Chain A
Amino acid sequence: MPPTWLVVNGSRRTVTADPAMPLLWVLRDVMGMTGTKFGCGIAQCGACTVHLDGAAVRSCSVPLSAAAGKRVTTVEGLSTNRMHALQRAWIELDVPQCGYCQSGQLMSAAALLARNPSPTDADIDAAMDGNICRCGTYQRIRAAIHRAAGEA
C-alpha cells in the first residue's frame, strides 16, 4: 500500500492504509485521534463529521483516497484551548449530555458559521439536520449557535 499524505489539523501527515478505508477509521484506528465518533457508518447520524477543505463531510463515507492531499479538520483542531466561539457557547449553555454526538454537531455548526455568520433558524435546520442527538440537546444547540453567531 502506498502512503497517502493529507493535512490534518494543520500538520502534514503521511499514513499507510487501504485507500478505500473511510477517513473515520483512518483518524480513529490508524492515527489514534478518537475525537471523531462512529455512529452509523452510512452518513445518517453525523457523529463522524469533519471538515474536508473547509466543508463538513461525514468521514464514515469518505474513503482515504478522496481525502488525499486535502486539509482535514477534526474537533481536536477546531481551536486551541476550546476558544472557538461555538465551543465557548457550548460550555456556557451546558449543551452536552452524554456528549458523544457533540464533536459532529460542533463541526457541522462551525462549517455553517464559516459560510453564514448569522444563520436563521431555517439555516440551522438545513445545516444541522444530518446530526442526530439521542440525548435531545437540539434546543440548546440552536441557542448556542445563535449565541456564537452573535459573538463572532
Chain B
Amino acid sequence: MNAEVSRREFVKAGAALSGLVVALQLPAYARTAAGALARLGPTLSPAAFLQIAPDGTVTFWLSKCEMGQGVRSALPMIVAEELDISPEAIRVEQASADPKYGDQATGGSSSISSLWQPLRKASAQAREMLVGAAARTWGVPASECATGEGSVRHDPSGRRLSYGTLVPVAAALAVPAEPALKDPKSFRLLGRPSRRLDTAAKVDGSARYGIDTRLPGMVFACIARCPVFGRPLTGYDADQARAMPGVIDVVPLEQGELLIGDFWRFELPGAVAVVAENSWAAMRGCKALDCRWEAAGGMSSAQLARIFRDRSAQAGRLGRNDGDAQTALEHAAKVVEVEYDVPFLAHATMEPMNCTAYVRGGRCDVYAPTQDPGTVSQLAQSLTGLDASAVEVHTTIMGGGFGRRFEMDWVIDSIRVSKALSRPVQVVWTREHDMQHDNYRPASYHVLRGGLDSAGKLVAWTHRVVAPSVIGWHAPGVLPPGSAAAAGEALDGAADLAYAIPNLRVDYCPVQTPVPVGWWRSVYASQTCFANETFLDEVARAAGRDPLELRRELLAGSPRHLAVLNKAAEQAGWGTPLPAGRGRGIAIHKFFSDAIVAEVAEVTVGPKGLRVDRVVCAIDCGLALNPDIITAQMEGGIVYALSAALKGAITLEAGRVKQSNFHDYPVLRHSEMPRVEVYILASGDTPHGVGEPAVPPLAPAVANALAMATGTSVRRLPLALE
C-alpha cells in the first residue's frame, strides 16, 4: 500500500486480503437467489444483483447498506435507467452477506461511484438480451427494436412484448460482453431530482430498523463493561440484578481478542450481559449489577493533550515533500505559525447500537444494522465455529451510520450472548453506553507554518498532523500506526492540499492512546481541512489579502476548484458589507471521492453567543444522478459538521468519558438551524460520492466567519468553548 491509501481503498484492501472481493460480474444467467422465483422457470440474471422473472418482476438485490444516504433509491434508479423501466417497478431486496455481490462494505462515499458502471453494464446486458429475444421471436433485426416501460417494441410493425414474456428466450442467449450503454445525454431519470423510494415507510412507523427486529422467543440484553477503555472485569455480584423483575439471566463475557482474515483485530471486552424479558428490565438489571473493574490510573484529556504536544516536537512520517520547505521558511520575509487542537468526537447516531442474533444447533442468524455485512458474517463464523453456509446476515436499515456501524463491538455482544443462551437475543445499548463506548473520531493536534516572500506570495507550507491512527487501531499487526498506510489515511486532506505552493512538507506523527478510534463521517479530512483552511485565512490576514482572492490565486491551475469556489462566493454575496458583529468565512475541500465542496458561512456574534445564520454550499460531484439526494446529503453533512464544530467534544477524566447523553454532548437543534443553500455544478460523465464531502469545509468556514466577526483567530474546536 502506498502513502496515498484512502479509507475506501483500505477497506477494499482489507476485504481483498480476507478473500471477500470477487468479480461483480457473474457470467451465469438463470442464476436464482430466491427459491420462489426459481419455481417460475428460467430467469434472466446477468449479474448476482439483478434478476428478471418470467412474470415480469424485476428484482434488485441491494448489496450496499442504507443508513439514510439514499442508496436504496439511487442504485435502483441506475438499473431503471439502463433497463428502461420505472424505478417503482423494481422490487428492492436487501442482499444477505455473500461474496457473490462483491464488496458490501458501505462507506467512503463510494457506493454510487463503485457500482455505477457494473449496474449500468448488467442492466444494459439484460436489455440487450431482451431485445435479442424479441428480434428473434419476430424475425426482425434487433436494430429495429426499441425498449420502454418494461417492454420491447417493434415500431415498424407496431408489435410489443413485455420483458417477462421474453425472459425464457432471453435467458438462453449469450450474455453480451460489451453491451451498449446509454449516452448520459439521453437519460430520462438520472440527472433530474426524483423522489426517494423508501420515504413512505419512514412516516408511518412501518420501517424496521435493527432495533425493531422481533423474533419469537426473543429476549433483550444490556451490557456492562469497564468505563476505562480496555480494562478487565475482576469480579461482579449479580444478586440484585437477578432479583429485578423481568431479569432472566446474567451472562459473563470473557475478555479476549479475535483476528479476522489475519488482519482486522476485534476486541472481546470483559463484560457482563443482563438478559431480560424487555429492554427496560435489562437496563434496570444492568444498573443493579455490582461490577468490579481494574479501572485505576486512567488518563485525563489534559494528559492526552500533553502527549500530543510532546509528539509534535519530533518529525513524523512524510506524506508529501515538494521543494524545500525548511529552507524556504528560513528565507521567508514573514512566517506564520499556528497550532490547532481538535477533540475526540462521538458518532451519536439516533438509533443506539443494537444487534439481534440467534445462534442455535448449527445455525446463526444475525439481524444487524451494519455498514459491513461481510465482516459480520466472518465474525459470526469465527465466534460460533459455523461455516459461511450456516450463517445468515440480515442487514437492516440503520438509524444513522456515519462510520460507527463499521465497528463490530455491538455485533460481537449479541452473538456471544445468544450463543450462551441458544435463543434469540437483542442487545440494546443505552445512550450512555453508546456515548461512552464509541470508536471516536480521533483527537488531533496540528502544527502549521506558512512562509510569505517579500511580495506577499505564499512560498512555503508545512503541516504536521499528530493523531491516533484509525487503521492502526483496527489492524495493528499488518498496518500499525507507523506504517505508510496509517500515514496515508491520517494525512488525507493534508498531503493532497490543492494549493499551488512550491515548497510543501506534510508529515504524520502517530500517537497511541487507550481511546478506541474509528471512521467518522469524512474521517481525517474533518480535522485536516479545518487546520488547512483556518490557517490559510491566518496567512491571508498576515499578507493583507482577501481570503477568497488568495484562494483564487493558489487554485488558478485547478479549474474545478475555481468554479466551485466562485459559485459559493457569488451566491453568498462575498464582499458585500456586513453589520458589526457579523462575519463571513469561506472554505473549500476536495474529498477523496473526487467531489469538491466550497462553503460560505455567515455568523452573528451577539449577547447569546455565536449563531450561524446561513451556509451557502457549492458542490461539483461530477455527473449528478439525483440532485435532490445530493442536496439532502449537503444539508445533512453541514448539520452534522456544525454540531461538531459548535459543540462536539468527548473528554476524559480518570480514563472515563465524561459525556453520557445529549444533555452533555449537545447537537444542533431546530432553533439553531442556519438557512442552507446548495448549488450543484456539473462536470464530467461519472458520479463522485456525496455522503461525506459536505463535512470538512464547514468547521473552517464557520471559524473564519467567527474570526472576521470578532477579530480573534480560532485555533481549537469546538467553537462554543472559545
Q: Which residues of A contact B (CB under 8 A)?
A: 18, 21-22, 25, 28-30, 32-42, 44-45, 47, 74-76, 78-79, 82, 87, 90-91, 94-103, 106, 124-126, 128-142
Contact = CB atoms under 8 A, between A and B. Distances in A.
B350 A98 contact: yes
Given A29-B279, A96-B199, A38 B211 contact: yes
Nearest to A96: B202
Nearest to A127: B670
Given A34-B205, A91-B199, A136 B352 contact: no
Interface in B430-454: 430-432
Contact of B212 (A21, A34, A98): A34
Contacts of A75: 203-205
B159 interface: no
Given A125-B670, A136-B640, A98 B352 contact: no
Contacts of A25: 278-280
Interface in B337-361: 348-352
Contact of A106 (B201, B203, B283, B663): B203
B398 interface: yes
A38 B68 contact: no
B124 interface: no
A35 B431 contact: no
Contacts of B251: none
A126 B352 CA distance: 26
A18 B671 CA distance: 37
B501 interface: no
A94 B198 CA distance: 9
Given A78-B204, A91-B203, A94-B195, A47 B671 contact: no
A98 B200 contact: no
B70 interface: yes
A54 B599 CA distance: 42
B245 A134 contact: no
Interface string B195-222: 1101111111111110110100000100
Contact of B636 (A30, A44, A137): A137
How many B residues are at the interface, by size bracket? 35 or more
B636 A97 contact: yes
B203 A134 contact: no
B661 A44 contact: yes
B646 interface: no
B689 to A, nearest CB: 15
A94 B632 contact: yes
11 contacts: A36-B205, A42-B663, A90-B199, A90-B203, A99-B202, A99-B397, A132-B667, A134-B348, A134-B640, A136-B636, A137-B632
Contacts of B401: 98
A44 B662 contact: yes
B205 A35 contact: yes
A20 to B, nearest CB: 9
Contact of A133 (B201, B246, B350, B431): B350
A78 B348 CA distance: 28
Nearest to B660: A42
A76 B207 CA distance: 11
B662 A98 contact: no
B431 to A, nearest CB: 4
B350 A136 contact: no
A138 B639 contact: yes
A41 B431 contact: yes
B637 interface: yes
B235 to A, nearest CB: 28
A97 B69 contact: yes
A96 B203 contact: yes
A102 B203 contact: yes
Interface in B671-711: 671, 673, 675-676
B667 A134 contact: yes
A36 B67 CA distance: 18
Contacts of B70: 97
A145 to B, nearest CB: 10
Contacts of A29: 220, 277-280
B348 A139 contact: no
B418 to A, nearest CB: 17
B628 interface: yes
A141 B643 CA distance: 18
Given A37-B351, A98-B397, A132-B662, A22 B205 contact: no
A138 B670 contact: yes
B662 A28 contact: no
A98 B640 CA distance: 13
Contacts of A100: 209, 349-351, 399-400
Nearest to B283: A41
B428 interface: yes
Given A42-B431, A75-B205, A102-B203, 19 more contacts: A34-B212, A35-B205, A37-B351, A38-B279, A38-B428, A44-B661, A44-B663, A76-B204, A87-B204, A100-B349, A124-B670, A125-B670, A132-B350, A132-B662, A134-B349, A134-B402, A134-B643, A136-B639, A140-B632
Nearest to B193: A94
B205 A40 contact: no
Residue among B280, B281, B639, B675 facing the most chain A CB atoms (10 A cut-off) = B280
B608 interface: no
A126 B670 CA distance: 9
A25 B206 CA distance: 17
Interface string B406-421: 0000000000000000
A141 B639 CA distance: 13
B350 to A, nearest CB: 4
B640 A141 contact: no
Nearest to B246: A18
Interface string B614-653: 0000000000000010001001111110010000000000
Interface in B63-99: 67-70
Contacts of B661: 40-42, 44
B669 interface: yes
A136 B633 CA distance: 9
Contact of A30 (B278, B635, B663): B278
A139 B673 contact: yes
B522 to A, nearest CB: 14
Given A91-B199, A102-B203, A97 B632 contact: yes
B448 to A, nearest CB: 29
A100 B68 CA distance: 9
Interface in B254-296: 277-281, 283
A131 B670 contact: yes
